[in-house]
Amino acid sequence: MRVGYGVGSVCTGTFSTVPGLLLLFYMTNVLAVPAWAAGLVVFLPKLWDMVLDPWVGRRSDRTVSRFGARRPWMLLGALTLPVAFALMFAGPPLTGLPAALYVAVCYLATATAYAFYEVPYKAMAAEMTDGYHERSALLQWKMVFVGGAILLSGSVAPAVAGDEVSGYRLMGLLVAAVLLASMLAAFFGTARVPVPEATVPEVAAAGGAGPSIRAQFAEARSSGAFMPLLGLGCTQMFAAGVLLAGAPYFATYILGDPGAVTTLFMCVVGPLLVTMPLWVRLSRRYDKRGAMALGSALFAAGTAGTALSGSLGPVYAHLCLLVAGVGYAGLQLLQVSMLADVVAHDTRVTGGRRAGSFTGLWSACETLVFALGAL
């Protein structure tokens, strides 16, 4: 069950990486889209996520089906996301602002399909186990698959795309196939995940529209721990968004080697594959908050150190990002583990099923600030 759940995060890692790494560069350097317009294309669909993600989360809380509450939404995402993603990089005979408009429409459709899958998928983690430390053990599999997906997509996708429209078109098709395989594997691999029963009021209201976004935030604030954790997570994701979107430009204009983006990326993401057991042990020894502080310090030190890369050279830059990557691995694991803790605690206290609602708010804010980093 752990592997069946974890493999679904190949979609998470791939989708969060490829547009973040290549979409701006694709528009500005291949489609001749002005930089300001390209930045808006990446950012504006995330405003839609602020409405859509909480809505999907709330609806998944109230879904009653033979597949459970989360899996029908995951299947809907699996059937729509690959198509929309391939179209986004289809490379129509357009340049400039018309090309920006085309990509914007496709990216909006892609973001919608991704929300159908990702929000219920994240919410499921809080329902799979009641153990405080067991959640970290479970989610380390998710992080390993995320790391592998980020590493492979971050290195293979730029190599396939190259700097021609045809390369980006082929890359879009290949990534779409990976997304489809990952999401379907998670759908079938989580068939035996226990499904908490919705409370009677929730089932009765399943056909309603649900509360407004403002009301959902007020509901989330009632949990006490959710809002501080959300603020921490958003700060970290903003930093990650800046780092990811800036990587091709950093490699090209600071290090003077566009090809270095692959090795820089490996330094940041590689630790996700090998340090998960270490971070699980650290979270047991120092509690999750102590481990989170350590991860934040490593990420901050490594990224701040890159400011001297222009004078100290590429080897120094890679070492700095390796330190940042070790910290980033800890942040990624502990964010999702602590979010699951907060949701599980809320369920015990209130007796209701609000995992999707909380996770939808989290995903909406996370994607918004990640795109804001790129903008």
21/244 Cα distance (integer angstroms): 6
The pLDDT value recorded for residue 196 is 56
pLDDT band at 206 (very low <50, low <70, confident <90, very high): very low
Q: pLDDT for 123-165, tens place per residue?
A: 777 666 665 556 666 666 677 787 788 878 877 888 898 888 8
**Exposure b/e, 305-332, CB count within 10 A at least 16 = b:** bbeebeeeebeebbbbbbbbbbbbbbbb
Q: What is the pLDDT of residue 207?
A: 41
Would you give the DSSP letter of residue 351? -
Query: How confident is the model at residue 319, as a pLDDT?
Result: 95
Mean pLDDT, to the nearest integer, of 106-123?
A: 90
Whether 74 contacts 140, CB under 8 Å: no
Residues 6+ apart with CB under 8 A from 319: 267
How is residue 254 annotated by DSSP? I
Q: How far apart are CA 127 and CA 103, in angstroms?
A: 37
Sign of the dihedral through C-alpha 199, 187, 190, 48 = negative
As separate numbers, helices (DSSP H) first and strands (DSSP E) second, the chain gives 16, 0
Q: How does pLDDT run across 355-374, given as a tens digit for each residue? A: 777 778 888 788 788 878 87
Task: Please count the other Cβ atoms lying within 10 Å of the Cβ belonging to residue 27.
Answer: 24
pTM of this prediction exceeds 0.95: no
Give the other-Cβ count within 10 Å of 210's Cβ: 17
Q: Which of 89-93, 210-214, 290-294, 322-326 has the lowest mean pLDDT?
A: 210-214
Owner of token pair 């592997």: 3
3-class DSSP state for residue 209? coil
278 vs 349, more confident:
278
> 96-124 and 9-18 are packed helices; what angle lies between their axes, rounded to 10 degrees?
150
Q: For residue 132, what are its two tokens?
A: 């405080």
User: Is pLDDT above 70 for 353?
Assistant: no
- Which tens digit of pLDDT belongs to each residue from 234-266? 998 899 888 887 888 888 888 888 878 888 888
Q: What residues contact residue 128 under an 8 Å CB cut-off, 6+ apart?
A: 1, 5, 138, 193, 194
Total residue count of the chain as it appears in this document: 375
pLDDT tens by residue, 315-336: 999 999 999 999 999 998 888 8
Task: Give dist(CA 289, CA 341) in Å, integer.
Answer: 12
Distances (CA, A) of 176 to 5, 173, 180, 181, 220: 20, 5, 6, 9, 34
Per-residue pLDDT averaged across 153-179, rounded? 89
